[in-house]
Amino acid sequence: MANTSNRTLRLLSLLQSHRYWPGAELAERLDVSQRTLRRDVDRLRELGYPVEARRGVDGGYQLAAGAALPPLVIDDEEAVALAVGLQAAAQGPVDGIAEPSLRVLAKIVQVMPGRLRRRVEALRAMTVTGGWGGPARTDVDPDVLTSVALACRDTERLRFAYTAADGRRTERHVEPLRLVSLGRRWYLVAYDLDRADWRNLRVDRIADPAGTGARFRPRELPAADAAEFVRARLDAVPRSHRVEVLVDAPAAAVRERIGRWAAAEEAGPDRCRVRFTSDSLDWAALAVGAIGADFRVVHPPELVDLLRDWADRFHRASSVPRDG
Backbone angles phi, psi at 241, to 5 degrees: -135, 130
Dist CA 319 CA 61 (whole Å): 43
Given a cut of 50, is residue 134 above it in pLDDT?
A: no
Q: Residue 127 is which amino acid?
A: T
Contacts of 56 (CB under 8 A, 6+ apart): none
Q: Which of 22-31, 99-108, 125-134 has the highest mean pLDDT?
A: 22-31
Higher confidence at residue 136 or residue 152?
152
Q: What is the pLDDT of residue 128?
A: 80
Given a cut of 90, is residue 115 above it in pLDDT?
A: no
Question: Residue 195 in contact with residue 178, Cβ under 8 Å?
Answer: no
Question: Which residues pair with residue 244 across a beta bridge?
Answer: 275, 299
Dist CA 34 CA 2 (whole Å): 20
Among candidate residues 307, 232, 234, 245, the one with its CA nearest the CA of residue 276: 245
Q: What is the pLDDT of residue 317?
A: 85
Q: What is the mean pLDDT of the chain?
A: 81
Given a cut of 70, is residue 171 above it in pLDDT?
A: yes
SS3 content of the chain, % helix, strand, coil (to 5): 45, 25, 30
Confidence of residue 87 (pLDDT cuts 50, 70, 90): low
Q: Residue 106 is which amino acid?
A: A
pTM passes above 0.85: no
Q: What percentage of the chain has pLDDT greater than the value 90?
A: 30
Q: What is the pLDDT of residue 48?
A: 74
Q: What is the pLDDT of residue 80?
A: 72
Q: What's the average model confidence in pLDDT over 236-245?
A: 78
Question: Residue 87 in contact with residue 122, Cβ under 8 Å?
Answer: no
Dist CA 9 CA 73 (whole Å): 7
Identify the helix (H) or strand (E) that includes residue 149.
Answer: helix 142-153
Taking CA atoms, 215 is separated from 44, 92, 113, in Å, by 44, 34, 26
∠ Cα 105 110 112 (to 5°): 95
Given a cut of 80, is residue 109 above it in pLDDT?
A: no
- Strands 51-54 and 127-131 come out as unpaired
Q: What is the pLDDT of residue 190?
A: 97
Q: What is the pLDDT of residue 67?
A: 54
* Least trusted range by pLDDT, from 2-16, 88-102, 174-188: 88-102
Higher confidence at residue 143 or residue 37?
37
Query: Using one digit for the tens of pLDDT, what is the confidence trace for 266-311?
Result: 988 889 999 988 878 888 898 888 888 999 999 999 999 999 999 9
Dist CA 66 CA 175 (whole Å): 51
* Least trusted range by pLDDT, from 3-12, 140-149, 210-219, 262-271: 3-12
Given a cut of 50, is residue 133 above it in pLDDT?
A: no
Confidence of residue 129 (pLDDT cuts 50, 70, 90): confident
Q: What is the pLDDT of residue 90?
A: 59
